[in-house]
Amino acid sequence: VAVKDEADVAGFPTRLGTTFLEDVAAEDALPVARLRRAGAVIVGKTAMAEIGSGTTGYRTGGPTPRNPHDANAWPGGSSSGSAVAVAAGLVPAALAYDGGGSIRIPAALCGVVGLKPTFGRVPSPNLHDPSTGVVGPIGADAYATAAMYLALAGPASPEETAGAGHPLYYPEQPPPHAAGLRDTRDLSDV
């Protein structure tokens, strides 16, 4: 799988699409660690709109990823590189972040499947965007997207969040307005 440049991957810089951030990650971000535990092979980090700003996918700090279906069309952003990598067939799925359309827009423009999970469903000690950003998958099809989502979702254990710097939210019970809806944490009958 590929990983958006917003997530830490041990041994690689996390630049957030900029030309000036150079911090090399000492360890994997929680979603990346979960993917590795599930057997995923991280093949690289993907381009993104600078600091997650922008819905077209345009990059000021480097080349803009090309929409594989039409080189003259925008790929969408800010998870442009993740959607392009999947749509071009380079990887079956990619990790992305969404705070205002950054998974959904590039997935739609590149013809792949993106899922923005409910806030807190995929815990992430994302210090870059802790209040609105969520982690989710972009896949070549619904199956690849669901497989990645199942590896990512679930409450964080104390071991996973040690040193995260802020509490992670994962609802144990559905909110009152969702009473009567089927519990989707058990997908064995799907």
Task: Return the active site residues.
Answer: 4, 78, 102
Q: State the DSSP string of 79-122.
A: SHHHHHHHHTTS-SEEEEEESSSTTHHHHHHHT-EE--PPTTSS
Q: What is the C-alpha separation between 19 and 142, in angstroms, rounded?
A: 34
Q: Which residue has the tokens 């911090």?
A: 23
Q: Give the full edge-to-edge strand order of the sheet including 2-4.
A: 44-46, 2-4, 93-98, 134-139, 113-114
Question: Under a CB-based contact definition with an 8 Å cutoff, are residues 78 and 84 in contact?
Answer: no
CB atoms within 10 A of CB 10: 14
